[in-house]
Amino acid sequence: MPMSSPSRRSTIVTLSKLAGVAPSTVTRALRGDTRISEKTRQRIAALAQEQGYTPNVLARTLSSGRSGLYGLILGPSSNPFYSELLHEATRQVESLGYRFLIIHAGSGPVEERTAEALLQYQVDGCLVSSAIQSSRVAEVCEKNAVPLVMVNRVALQHGCAVTCDNRAGGRDLARLLLESGRRKFAVVTTSSYSSTAQEREDAFVDELARAGLSLAHRYDGKSHYEGGYEAGLELAKLSGAQRPDAVFALSDIMAMGLLDALRLKGVAVPSDMAVVGFDGLPAAARPIYDLTTIEQPLTTMIERAFALLANRVATPSLPDETISLKGRLLIRGSSGG
């Protein structure tokens, strides 16, 4: 017995034939257009459900010029901050009726063909949260009027930006440590340049300078847990006279690696050495870390980013804008506070 061929996907034309109305009437009815009688709208809605009809996104793109997609360029998953950002952004974008197209995720620069995907899939806008943003991405977006918003980064070229106030956070952490009597400091920083890391470190160092102090040590934590752990091992090797009594890791994930290394080597935190971080990762609040940190207002940052995108999709001529939001100092046991 021959197998029956699968039924074709229902379309507006299919529904119009079954309902005995014009395709334009079906389209208006499914959009809730009140020019179509309620009885007809209900009949067509029931018919669409019965036939398993779903809108054709590609056809909608052709007719409206909008794809309903936002491109997303994300930093490496080795840093849980980006996982938190992805979760929150996905939750919010769905409530706005959009979907994400992940263009790039990782620590390396965005490749040429990846940047071109922004055009191939006709994204309506692009959200970028990566330390290394290819200049090609900004160029492609600018030349093709694709709104671009950086999150947790400052836009160096074309685009808007929403960031935590990294300088204020760096100052707050330095003041906290100084007020607790710490006098010898180290910083665990990142190997690659990012505006966020630079602002945090600069503000921290400036605050120390106001107190007549400077950094005793600086280590490359490579932006991940393992790098923070290696920095902790190096710090633990220092003799009493050389050893700092306070360390600022520029991200929570590096601070967590640092704390694990210090614990392994018998360095008591905070009595021997205070440790502070930045980001406000949920894992940093666990008793084993109890990390003092600056919590980024991630929910509000994402909300503002989507508002910037939506406004520029509607009005492309709007100027670029940068929004800086104050983080929250969370004082926990790792700083002795």
Domain CATH for 134: 3.40.50.2300
Judgement on whether residues 71 and 100 belong to the same structural domain of the protein:
yes
pLDDT tens-digit series, residues 22-43: 988 888 887 777 888 989 988 9
Query: Residue 101: what pLDDT?
Result: 83
Judgement on whether residues 157 and 79 belong to the same structural domain of the protein:
yes
Does 153 fall in a domain? yes
Domain boundaries, position 49: 12-55
Does 2 fall in a domain? no
Q: Which of 94-98, 108-112, 196-200 has the highest mean pLDDT?
A: 196-200
Query: Residue 115: what pLDDT?
Result: 66
pLDDT tens-digit series, residues 275-297: 999 999 999 999 999 999 999 99
Strand segments (E) across 152-261: 160-164, 185-189, 215-220, 246-249
C-alpha 72/C-alpha 3 separation (Å) is 43
Does 171 fall in a domain? yes
Reported residue count of the chain is 337
* One-character DSSP codes across 38-65: HHHHHHHHHHHHHHT----HHHHHHHHS
Q: Which residue has the higher pLDDT, 79 or 27?
A: 79
Judgement on whether residues 317 and 285 belong to the same structural domain of the protein:
no
* Spatial contact of 278 and 217, defined as CB atoms under 8 Å apart: no
Judgement on whether residues 172 and 281 belong to the same structural domain of the protein:
yes
C-alpha 140/C-alpha 258 separation (Å) is 39
Does 114 fall in a domain? yes
Judgement on whether residues 200 and 277 belong to the same structural domain of the protein:
yes
pLDDT tens-digit series, residues 136-152: 677 777 877 889 899 98
Does 129 fall in a domain? yes
Does 156 fall in a domain? yes
Judgement on whether residues 44 and 111 belong to the same structural domain of the protein:
no
* Spatial contact of 86 and 116, defined as CB atoms under 8 Å apart: no
Q: Which residue has the higher pLDDT, 319 or 105?
A: 319
- Domain count for the chain, please give it: 3
pLDDT at 103 over 90: no
Report residue 232 as tokens: 């902790």
* Spatial contact of 138 and 160, defined as CB atoms under 8 Å apart: no
For the entire predicted model, the pTM comes to 0.80
Judgement on whether residues 34 and 90 belong to the same structural domain of the protein:
no
3-state secondary structure at position 94: helix
* Cβ atoms within 10 Å of 170's Cβ, excluding its own: 24
Judgement on whether residues 71 and 139 belong to the same structural domain of the protein:
yes
C-alpha 254/C-alpha 174 separation (Å) is 18
pLDDT at 97 over 90: no
Query: Residue 183: what pLDDT?
Result: 96
C-alpha 232/C-alpha 99 separation (Å) is 41
Query: Residue 185: what pLDDT?
Result: 98
pLDDT tens-digit series, residues 40-69: 988 988 888 888 776 655 555 445 556 788
Judgement on whether residues 268 and 216 belong to the same structural domain of the protein:
yes
pLDDT at 9 over 90: no
Does 3 fall in a domain? no
Q: For residue 290, is it left (φ>0), alpha (ψ between -120 and 50) or beta?
A: left
Judgement on whether residues 175 and 292 belong to the same structural domain of the protein:
yes
Q: What is the DSSP letter of 272?
A: T
Mean pLDDT of 256-267: 98
Q: Residue 3 — very low, low, confident or very high, per pLDDT cuts 50/70/90?
A: very low
Query: Residue 133: what pLDDT?
Result: 57
* One-character DSSP codes across 259-281: HHHHHHTT--TTTT-EEE-SB--
Question: β-pairing, 328-330 with 293-295?
Answer: antiparallel
Does 313 fall in a domain? yes
C-alpha 62/C-alpha 175 separation (Å) is 56
Q: Which residue has the higher pLDDT, 154 or 243?
A: 243
Peptide bond just before 270 cis, omega within 30 deg: yes
Mean pLDDT of the chain: 87
Q: Residue 263 — very low, low, confident or very high, per pLDDT cuts 50/70/90?
A: very high
Q: Residue 157 — very low, low, confident or very high, per pLDDT cuts 50/70/90?
A: low
